[in-house]
Structure 1
């Protein structure tokens, strides 16, 4: 795998995040999402403090997505893979220990897949660069 291929992976994961996180960005878009999810399977009521944290989460993920879309550096893909490992851990924790909404299973699986794709891709390009003496590992950032 070369850097340009990996950058496409980083950008694709960022586009995925951007699209699927937009509903969490504002209280109004979250209300639409909440009603939609409730039509699929019951979801708990969200108090204003819960909506605040949902919107904070949505805001930071949107900003992180835009950064990776505009500048898909391999190092950002590596850090994103770590974030996805953490996200999938908490998704599966919620699925196992609480009455999780069925949509969480889908998101958990997608987070694991993006983690594997990005972590493996980063490993491959680091391996390629370490075998090329003329290129410093810092060129990956």
Structure 2
């Protein structure tokens, strides 16, 4: 069982990780930069080229990125541990979608993101004891 202090630290680290990883999805310009960077990584490692993002892919990535950023800011500002439990459920859902993408030929880069999602999801689902 984790102490409340340790649980809170894990939850904060997870929130900041999410902010770093998600903010590029929130605008068309930052998404294009991220996609170009990931395409370069693919080329360096001899992976298949990434598909071109069409209008709808950009739209849905931007909308999802914006909603997730709002959720992240809420978690950071309120620092309410009850939100960690909801976030764990979201992480398990995101992990499921990554596994679906990987099983359908998604980029192996997703394994790195999947590892973080599963790790933070499990840690945020663990019981903790209130500090005295």
Shorter chain as denominator, the TM-score bin is 0.7 to 0.9
Shift of 1:116: 0.8
Match of 1:138 in 2: none
Instruction: Write the deviation string for residues 67-120 of structure 1: whole angstroms up to 9, x where unpaired.
Output: 111112111000000000000011011111x11112111111110001111111
Corresponding position: 1:64 with 2:65: no
TM-score for the superposition, normalised by structure 1: 0.82
Q: Which runs of 5+ in 1 are unaligned?
A: 130-141
| Bigger relative CO (Cα 8 Å, ≥ 6 apart) | 2
Match of 1:106 in 2: 112
Q: Which runs of 5+ in 2 are unaligned?
A: 43-48
Select the structure of larger CA radius of gyration.
Answer: 1
Say if 2:4 and 2:128, in contact at 8 Å, map to a contact too: no
Q: Partners in 2 of 1:119 and 1:72 — Cα distance?
A: 16
Say if 1:10 and 1:73, in contact at 8 Å, map to a contact too: no
TM-score for the superposition, normalised by structure 2: 0.87
